[in-house]
Homo-oligomer: A and B are copies of this chain.
Amino acid sequence: MALPSTSLEEQKRRAETKSEAESLLPLFRITRILNHDQNGRRITLLGSIKDQPGLLTFERAAFESDLGAATLLLQSLSDTINLGANDIYRWYMSNTQATPARHSLKINLIWPCTDAHIKKYTAQQLRYVIETPEVYAQHIRPWIERTQRTPKRLDWIYNILDGVTEQEDVVHRSSDFGISLSHDKQKSDSEGFLLLPDLNWDRRTATGLHLLALVERRDLYSLRSLKQKHVPWLKHLRNEIVKAASGVASKLAGELVDEDQIKCYIHYQPTYYHFHVHVVHVMLEANGTTQAVGKAFALENIISQLENMAIGESVGMDNVDLGYFMGEESPLWKSCFGKIKTGEKVDLNDE
């Protein structure tokens, strides 16, 4: 979440003036289209400026939402053509006159960019897999422990939980945070959690609310770690998260948000393997895949799934088949599910 530390050279570059930034765009030479998404309303181009690679993203801008702007939009239509009509329904294509006050395009430029940027912004083919309990136990869980539950991957979270970094971003810390925390944090049954704003939330718009709830206990990797015995803990956690998120939204956005306007979900696979919950306003229209079926699992439904399982000490989410999608570039596809598909040997954990 923190910005990378900057060298002196980078700080100089940061002082680039607005007109210098604007003068870069006409120099962009397109190489190829990397992605065309958001129902076609965003397009990402690879190209170069002064022989250094760059990424340019065009995105259709939002309409202004006041009556005056809507009236101006209607008055400024040009080149309108009718595509078809059926009874009371008619379809058109049109243009609106360009005026500085009503820009219709948002543009992002990343320059000079690296191969990592190019990979990140290139459209990735997705695959839908069914992860059985056996595949989880034999391949996925060892991979998580070997490569994801490492200081490099998790220290930034522990630093937030321990109060070392990013405290200015913590918008809520539960009242039981730090209480009953045993010496061995791995085995803690603490009910504490804290709330951080997701990077996509502007921290002002109530219906855009997107928070992350990081739990204080450190023994849970993902929803696969949840057992039937965690049900009371999860119910308490859910109630407290919803209450706190409603308070945060009302405070930061200055608008009353009820608890039944809050939605909680968990990603599988998550981006990092310290158990956390996504907390959003129920009206939030998600960009991309964050809320999509096959990746987002509603917290309430995971709780009731656990509750209704056959009773047993070891019963939990590691006993069930989980269907979800992943990118073909993911190591889990390349070295596990892709191999299973073609009948090759899984080599996810081979050195």
On A, residues with C-beta under 8 Å from B are 3-4, 6, 10, 13-14, 16, 18-19, 21-22, 24-26, 28, 30, 32-33, 36-43, 45, 56, 58, 60-63, 65-67, 70-71, 73-74, 77-82, 85-100, 103-113, 125-130, 258, 260-263, 265, 282-283, 285-289, 291-294, 296-301, 303-305, 307-311, 315, 319-325, 341
Query: A103 to B112, Cβ gap below 8 A?
Result: no
CA distance A100 to B94 in the complex (A): 8
CA distance A97 to B98 in the complex (A): 7
Query: B321 to A303, Cβ gap below 8 A?
Result: yes
Task: Given A24-B90, A86-B14, A263-B325, decide whether A125 and B283 contact each other with a Cβ distance below 8 A.
Answer: yes
Pick the residue among B26, B125, B128, B263 that contacts A128 (CB under 8 A): B263
Nearest B residue (CB) for A287: B39
- A79 surroundings in chain B (CB, below 8 A): 98-100, 103
Closest CB in chain B relative to A305 CB, distance in Å: 5
- A291 surroundings in chain B (CB, below 8 A): 291-294
Pick the residue among B63, B66, B309 that contacts A58 (CB under 8 A): B63
Closest CB in chain B relative to A227 CB, distance in Å: 13
- A112 surroundings in chain B (CB, below 8 A): 88
Pick the residue among B90, B307, B319 that contacts A320 (CB under 8 A): B307
Task: Given A98-B98, A293-B291, decide whether A39 and B129 contact each other with a Cβ distance below 8 A.
Answer: no
Pick the residue among B3, B13, B40, B288 that contacts A62 (CB under 8 A): B40
- A99 surroundings in chain B (CB, below 8 A): 79, 95
Query: A127 to B92, Cβ gap below 8 A?
Result: no
Query: A282 to B70, Cβ gap below 8 A?
Result: no
17 A-B contacts, Cβ less than 8 Å apart? A16-B85, A22-B80, A22-B92, A39-B62, A39-B285, A41-B62, A41-B63, A43-B70, A79-B98, A79-B99, A80-B107, A92-B109, A95-B104, A125-B283, A127-B258, A307-B320, A308-B309
- A258 surroundings in chain B (CB, below 8 A): 127
